[in-house]
Structure 1
Amino acid sequence: MNPGRVDAIIERLLNVRHCRTGPDAPLNADDLYAVSQAARDIFASQPMLIEIEAPVKICGDIHGQYLDLLRIFDHCGYPPDSNYLFLGDYVDRGRQSLETIALLFAYKVRYPLNVFLLRGNHESEDINERYGFFEECIRRFDVKMYKHFSDTFAWLPVAGVVADRILCMHGGLSPSLDHLHQIKSLPRPLSRVDQSGIMCDLLWSDPDSSVRGYGDNDRGVSHVFGPDVVESFVKRHDLDLICRAHQVVEDGYEFFANRQLLTLFSAPGYCGEFDNKAGVLSVDPSLVLTIQIIDPLLDNKKRRFQPNGQFSTSNSSRIDGVSPHKRQASGSSYVYGKN
């Protein structure tokens, strides 16, 4: 795809970044088809498990909150000045899924070695046809547009390894995953993901401190896994950290299993209903990790988290596994490495 055309698309998409009301960007169907196809070609040329070098910034769920995506870029830098790995769930819930995925695909096409995108559970037809993306495509374009993006989602990689030390995915671990090379052999393209197996678990599973091993997931799909699973997996594969998304967490990040697993969520003020912050993990060339926090743009009082991870109307700032003296307004830094 011609770089000049991609630059023009990016410029139009960025022109709304100073409007807090979130106007729709002037999207052209031909440009969207072209960007989606070009991104698909890149994804198809990459393995299902991609290898990424530091420095890089890692983001969790975005869910169509386009202006918040632009705020992340404002805070953390725009490509190619900053490298990014996104952990999936770009669409659904928020009102501007098309702008969100169009900009991310355009950046991927323009800077393929600076921007990396993984698949989330919402990049599947059986999910996004029910939670907003299908309806948005029909309202603004037609079913052909939805199908085109769906066909591209089917080629997205599902996991990444940063500097050989940090394993990243949208959901979590799988009882069927013994070796990382199994991820590379997962089949593509898949518009709909099976309700069990490695790929399902990479997109859907969740950590749970109350279980040992694996247990049933209240979502009705995949599993939950305990701290012992994380500790064993990290040791067996000589990793420092597992980084995933998939769950709303109050401060945009939450540690698990003695800080060997980190959950990131990057849609602040999720759905306009909660007051959660967005978290972005910055990995520098020395593998120093800095968590950058972005507050929601909300004026009215929203539901807050209880310490057990549920929502209520009371304040709670506790995050398991993070010492209060290490938490700073601008983020927190940790160094991960083998002794």
Structure 2
Amino acid sequence: MTFLYRRHYNAPKEGTAAVNRVKEGREKRPDESRLHGPSHHTTPAPGVDLLPLLKPATGNVSSAVQHVTMPGLPASVDLDECISRLYKRELLAESVIEAICAKTKELLMRESNVVHVRAPVTVVGDIHGQFYDLIEIFKIGGWCPDTNYLFLGDYVDRGMFSVETISLLVCLKLRYPNRVTLIRGNHESRGVTQSYGFYTECSRKYGNANVWHYFTDMFDFLTLSVVINDKIFCVHGGLSPSIHSIDQIVIIDRFREIPHEGPMADLVWSDPDPERDEFSLSPRGAGYTFGAQVVKKFLAVNNMDHILRAHQLCQEGFQVLYDDRLSTVWSAPNYCYRCGNMASVLEVSDTGERFFNVFAAAPENDQHKDMQPGGEKTADGNALPDYFL
């Protein structure tokens, strides 16, 4: 397949971040004067109620998005009501979080370490608790369940709304299990979340750490990788010197805390390095860096065309390496509310073409500048710790 770069600009609507659309490929981008056309997704006008968007889609989406009965949930837990509240950034009760995490573990337990997904699908990189930017992603990429989503991990830590972010994603996974796929990132870990904000946020918002325990126990059940259309390998971090074949991922015991080393750790911690050809120890202290020859060999052995991953901040929202064999998608704009970067989601069409939708930070973030870390105070007068290193 021949790939062309193509960038689309559409004027931002009021209350909506600007969006650029880039078609990933091997050839150079055409001259800017030749670029044209809007993104095909629509955005609700400011102030429009999101509730009508929660109804199951009609037409092509069929049984994959019909109402999911959840006999294991308490009768008082209505998933549609939970999703409605979470879209408005309302916290769910602790007992509800406990119930949905328990039910999500049952659902995730049935997934393989390598989940197979059919395109079209929209791939989302790191979110890191930036709730309003997650909502921006839905405005840009389409609302659940109309759009099939694959999230590549790192849902929590560093942002101000990790609890609301992971609560929404888990409820969407339960409500539309065949339209939402969640991969584990290196921050879906007890050790990391105790240091980078999620533990503290749970304790501050609920008065205890119970919610943190419910979520981190559930993280142990998240899948490690996804294969799209049998040709695109998706993972949070990268490759491992211990893994040559996809079949070796299938047999990993994933139902545990992420170990400090080994193939499971490598999948969530490793990074590509364009300056190297082979594996090298990562400066992160976990995982490896890997180069072009590693990628070529992995794709050849597994009869695949491309690797999609997240895990690394990209100032333009994405990066394509190794002659279009590997892409990084980053979905947290203005990371930590201070980095000034763009973000993207990656649309994979049913024919395998890849389009980056590039977007800026949601304007709603500006309403919460007084809550952002750096010595500012919360409403109760307590200082927010600075996890934005």
- TM-score normalised by L of structure 2: 0.73
Match of 2:263 in 1: 198
Establish whether residue 116 from structure 1 lines up as the match of residue 181 from structure 2. yes
- Where in structure 2 are the equivalents of 1:185-334 lying within 5 Å? 185-191=251-257, 193-297=258-362
Q: Which has the higher contact order (CA 8 A, sep 6+)?
A: 2
Shift of 1:209: 1.1
SS for the counterpart of 2:84 is helix
Match of 1:145 in 2: 211
Identity between Structure 1 and Structure 2 (%): 38
Which is further off, 103-112 or 1-10? 1-10
Match of 1:48 in 2: 113
Query: Structure 2: how far apart are the matches of 1:6 and 1:297?
Result: 26
Query: Structure 1: how far apart are the matches of 2:123 and 2:309?
Result: 9
Aligned in 2, Cα 1:165/1:62: closer, same or farther, shift over 3 Å?
A: same
Establish whether residue 15 from structure 1 lines up as the match of residue 81 from structure 2. no
Query: Structure 2: how far apart are the matches of 1:83 and 1:221?
Result: 32
**Residue from 65, 74, 89 that aligns with 2:154:** 89
Match of 1:165 in 2: 231
Query: Contact 1:58/1:281 (CA < 8 Å) preserved in 2?
Result: yes
CA displacement, residues 284-322 of structure 1 (integer Å, 9 cap, x when unaligned): 11112111011124799xxxxxxxxxxxxxxxxxxxxxx
Query: Structure 1: how far apart are the matches of 2:116 and 2:312?
Result: 24
Amino acid at match of 1:78: W
- For structure 1, the 5+ residue unaligned runs are 17-24, 301-339
Query: Contact 2:97/2:214 (CA < 8 Å) preserved in 1?
Result: no
Shift of 1:8: 0.3
Establish whether residue 180 from structure 1 lines up as the match of residue 209 from structure 2. no
Amino acid at match of 1:158: L
- Give the root-mean-square deviation of aligned CA atoms: 1.5
Match of 2:57 in 1: none
SS for the counterpart of 2:188 is coil
Query: Structure 2: how far apart are the matches of 1:211 and 1:290?
Result: 27
Query: Contact 1:269/1:297 (CA < 8 Å) preserved in 2?
Result: no
Larger radius of gyration: 2
**Residue from 168, 174, 180 that aligns with 1:103:** 168
Establish whether residue 74 from structure 1 lines up as the match of residue 149 from structure 2. no
How many residue pairs end up in the alignment? Answer: 291
Query: Structure 1: how far apart are the matches of 2:173 and 2:301?
Result: 32
